[in-house]
Structure 1
């Protein structure tokens, strides 16, 4: 058995437009933004969606939205999502990038939330 939950909604934005997109989303959602010093390609939109990390992600690709699933077993969660129709696209560090039916991307990553948040919100899968 393993556990997982939706951890983040990422607003993927071409690098040249990330600052403008961040300004727009901050104003539209009425929240402050902050660059993650450890991962400067992520600009957090604090408290935009309570309980879900929301951020603009500077990418070298087309604009889109994607979800991140956090899990206590990346391999098992990847296998679960593949079994219901996703296909693995690539790997980045410990993360797996999947394309789901409809063409959207999702990422599967190790637990990032504080343990009490993950324990309270994660679903258990067989």
Structure 2
């Protein structure tokens, strides 16, 4: 059975106390208006900063860093594919899997959330 995935999101992880200032900075630096989803207040989206990708500031209880999200139509299959490539699953949050890639960078495998036409156009199919 095949599945599809794509790089969908780049997150600027920022300590929670500094997240509003970081969101303002990146909004002004990139000329991208902010947008916060009402049900996920830890995220501040930077609308239209990157074509076909989400760029957002995420308030975290950790060190500043960047991480990426890979969206997929099969979280289990994509997680297994990335683990086979050398990633290690380190945690889960809701339906998302948090992995550490070789080199130490974090990434999340998330369920499909973008526009279906965008996902179909930009995703790759995996065996």
What interval of TM-score do these two structures reach, taking the shorter chain for normalisation? over 0.9
Residue 9 of structure 1 pairs with residue 10 of structure 2? yes
Paired residues for 1:1-126 under 5 Å: 1-126=2-127
How far off its partner does 1:38 sit? 1.4
Aligned residues: 126
> What are structure 1's unaligned runs of at least 5 residues?
none
1:29-48 Cα deviation digits (max 9, x unpaired): 11111211110100000011
Q: Distance in 2 between matches of 1:9 and 1:32?
A: 16
Root-mean-square deviation over aligned CA pairs: 0.6
> What are structure 2's unaligned runs of at least 5 residues?
none
User: Structure 1 stretches (4+) deviating beyond 3 angstroms?
Assistant: none
Q: Distance in 1 between matches of 2:19 and 2:38?
A: 16
Per the normalisation by structure 1, the TM-score is 0.98
Q: Distance in 2 between matches of 1:111 and 1:119?
A: 11
